[in-house]
Structure 1
Amino acid sequence: MPYPEGHKLKVRGKIIESAAQAFRTNGIRDISVPFIMKGVGLTHGGFYAHFDNKEQLVAEACRYAISDTIALLQKAADQEKKVPKINTIIDYYLSPHHRDRTEMGCILPALSSEISRSSDEVRQVFTQELERMIVFISNAAKVDTATGSALLSSMVGTLMLARSVNDSKLSDSLLSAGKQHAKGLIETHVKSEH
């Protein structure tokens, strides 16, 4: 009996989602294709009906994860009506909740160091997705992309460091200082325009 229309696309989507979650939590090198497939209740052999290789899956997982992060940040910003949207985005991005939920968090601090040693295919997709994230942040902050790049870099670096330490007070203070710095960057930019 044939599968219903759209079944293969739905399965592919579940594999990408499972991979994005696994990569965010454990990195690329430590996650195997069988582990990802097991996460969606499929066998390793079924992987090749959807992807040519793991590199293609990593690229697709990067696309998915950035879209997911942008949607999450946009949702947080849309729920807050009083403060500038970028402040809500900064508060969410540099929150203990985002820090502690790596499986659902931004892929940039989770994978940047590994991506730099990946294939050109993966690095190309990661580059495109990073550029998309910079545009999102720049638009939310109403700044040029150079300022948006600096803001995003500051946020990603802060989150990466806050996740890296085993001292919860230090981690919280890094998040707090990162928020203050990121908001200050925007305020400085706004003042310099007036």
Structure 2
Amino acid sequence: MGHSQAEKAATHARVLQLASRKVRTEGVTRLGIAELMNEAGLTHGGFYKHFASRDDLIAQAAALALTEGTIKMQRSARKNEQNPRAGLIDAYLAKQHRDTPDTGCALVSLGASAGRGGQDFKEAYEKQVRTYLELIAGLDDDSEDARAEAMLTLSALVGAVLMSRAVTDQNFSDELLQTVAERLR
């Protein structure tokens, strides 16, 4: 790869990383190309050197945001060797996760958008849901209903973080996270 190709790849990755943080924080409808490129230190016209369209950028940014969560989920489960499921639950329902949507789980922030999105977006979202379900089900080796339990767990995790971010009362937000964590453990 020539120097200019390497630079182009690095620039593409930088713009994509920035866009993935923005879609987790602001959603896909508020993502502005001019603003994004300005933040990346590039011109609006340079956008089309990296992406075919705004929809292409959104699909790639959403896919990146979704897949980055897998590594975090695996790491969280490994933190508690005695009870990996509890480690995952505690990390996911932590106040830090609630308070940092730009680096948090994209299932929370992109669910509604994926439901209204195009085929590529829906497929990326579904792929991540299935990946998380496999990961969570694999933590319960002794359970006959591991897949069903994983569905219940993932739904509760995503729902609790979503609601805890949406309410205004900080104590109630904390209570949502704590109560769901206690019940899931």
Superposition TM-score, scaled by structure 1 size: 0.85
Closer, same or farther: CA 4–140 of 1 in aligned 2, 3 Å? farther
Closer, same or farther: CA 58–138 of 1 in aligned 2, 3 Å? farther
Q: 2-side partners of 1:176 and 1:156: how far apart?
A: 14
Would the aligned equivalents of 2:89 and 2:157 in 1 still touch at CA under 8 Å?
yes
Q: Deviations over 1:152-183 (max 9, x none)?
A: 01100011001000100000000011112222
Q: Cα offset for 1:4?
A: 4.2
Which residue pairs with 1:187 in the alignment?
none
Amino acid at match of 2:75: K
Amino acid at match of 1:118: G
* More displaced 10-residue stretch of structure 1: 63-72 or 162-171: 63-72
Number of equivalences: 181
Q: 2-side partners of 1:154 and 1:166: how far apart?
A: 20
Q: 2-side partners of 1:44 and 1:15: how far apart?
A: 12
Amino acid at match of 1:28: V
Q: 2-side partners of 1:156 and 1:24: how far apart?
A: 13
Q: Cα offset for 1:93?
A: 0.4
> Could you list the runs of 5+ residues in structure 2 that have no partner in the other structure?
none
Q: Cα offset for 1:5?
A: 4.4
| 1:111-126 paired onto structure 2 within 5 Å | 111-126=110-125
Which residue pairs with 1:60 in the alignment?
60
Would the aligned equivalents of 1:115 and 1:123 in 2 still touch at CA under 8 Å?
yes
Would the aligned equivalents of 1:86 and 1:141 in 2 still touch at CA under 8 Å?
yes
2:175 counterpart of 1:167? no
Q: Cα offset for 1:104?
A: 0.7
Q: Cα offset for 1:116?
A: 1.1
Amino acid at match of 1:182: L
Would the aligned equivalents of 2:66 and 2:125 in 1 still touch at CA under 8 Å?
no
Q: 1-side partners of 2:92 and 2:131: how far apart?
A: 16
> Could you list the runs of 5+ residues in structure 1 that have no partner in the other structure?
184-194
Would the aligned equivalents of 1:62 and 1:129 in 2 still touch at CA under 8 Å?
no
Which residue pairs with 1:28 in the alignment?
28
Would the aligned equivalents of 2:66 and 2:124 in 1 still touch at CA under 8 Å?
no
Q: 2-side partners of 1:66 and 1:121: how far apart?
A: 13
Which residue pairs with 1:6 in the alignment?
6
Which residue pairs with 1:189 in the alignment?
none
Q: Deviations over 1:98-134 (max 9, x none)?
A: 0000111011111111221112222122222222222
* More displaced 10-residue stretch of structure 1: 94-103 or 140-149: 140-149
Would the aligned equivalents of 1:90 and 1:179 in 2 still touch at CA under 8 Å?
yes
2:130 counterpart of 1:131? yes
2:15 counterpart of 1:15? yes
Closer, same or farther: CA 37–136 of 1 in aligned 2, 3 Å? farther
Percent identical: 26
Q: 1-side partners of 2:114 and 2:49: how far apart?
A: 25
Q: Cα offset for 1:33?
A: 1.4
Aligned partner (choices 147, 150, 165) of residue 148 of structure 1: 150
Q: 2-side partners of 1:65 and 1:140: how far apart?
A: 23
Which residue pairs with 1:97 in the alignment?
96
Q: Cα offset for 1:67?
A: 2.3
